[in-house]
Amino acid sequence: MNISITRQNLGDKSKQWLDQIAPVNTHKWKLDKDSTALMVIDMQRFFVEPGSPLSLEHGNVIIPTVKKLIDGFRSAGFPVIYTRHVHHADGSDAGNLGWWWDGMIIEGSPESEINAELAPLPGEKVIFKHRYSSFLNTDLETVLRGKNIKDVVITGVMTNLCCETTARDAFMRDYRVTFLADATGAATEEMHLATLTNLAFGFARVALADDVLREIKK
């Protein structure tokens, strides 16, 4: 799909979105420096690389911002947790997603890998999931509880599908959710802005990557 967001205008666009949602983006807090994790959701070749089966332009646009966040969290000693959305080749784990969407990300395929610029380091947790939510039928909550995480910072794709569903599920499990306007990507700007508005109203603090990076500096 055509989208009007580029790496050059992402900063200005993100500030405009925050201005538009300001009336509902009213819950403010500082990240807990002892219990914060970064979630990098589905930044896989399938979604973010030109020429891929579902090349998401906005997903490609946010790669430098997500990389800056990953580097910042690693330097500060905070956990970085990745997700990869995958399915068996026979579709046996696809459920409703199998008929809703054309094409699947097949587990083990090159397209299922995380973009090389953002690749996890050895020892960093990668959650393999089969639905929009990163919590459904995965060990994500066990990992978060084991690390005593209270704050989750959400980046990745798609804003209005896996990122939003994960944010809602995290809130309902009593995590504080920070959702990044300039480090999540959707198929259209309208979908992106709708999610930012809805999450700010009921589920998350919507912020910018630089705000978060300032907060985690020790």
Q: Is the pLDDT of residue 1 over 60?
A: no
- What's the pLDDT tens digit per position in 145-187? 999 999 999 999 999 999 999 999 999 999 999 999 999 999 9
Cα end-to-end distance, the chain, whole Å:
41
Asked whether residue 4 carries a pLDDT value surpassing 60, the answer given is yes
Q: Across all residues in the chain, what is the average pLDDT?
A: 95
Q: pLDDT tens-digit profile of 47-99? A: 998 887 788 999 999 999 999 999 999 999 999 999 999 999 998 998 998 88
- How many Å apart are CA 85 and CA 179, to the nearest integer? 19
SS3 label, residue 36: strand
User: Is the backbone of residue 70 left (phi > 0), alpha (psi -120 to 50) or beta?
Assistant: alpha
Comparing C-alpha atoms, which of 127, 159, 156, 131 is closest to residue 144?
127
Where helices occur in 109-208 by DSSP H, the ranges are 140-146, 164-172, 189-202
The domains of the chain are located at: 10-24+34-216
pLDDT at 104: 86
CATH class (in words) of the domain with range 10-24+34-216:
alpha beta
Show which residues are catalytic. 42, 129, 162
Reduced to 3 states, what is the DSSP secondary structure of residue 80?
A: strand
Q: What is the pLDDT of residue 127?
A: 98
Residue pair 47/59 in contact (Cβ under 8 Å)? The answer is yes
User: What single-letter DSSP state applies at residue 48?
Assistant: H
Confidence (pTM)? 0.96
C-alpha–C-alpha distance, residues 25 and 5, integer Å: 22
Q: What is the pLDDT of residues 83-142, one digit of tens each?
A: 999 999 998 998 998 889 888 899 999 999 999 999 999 999 999 999 999 999 999 999
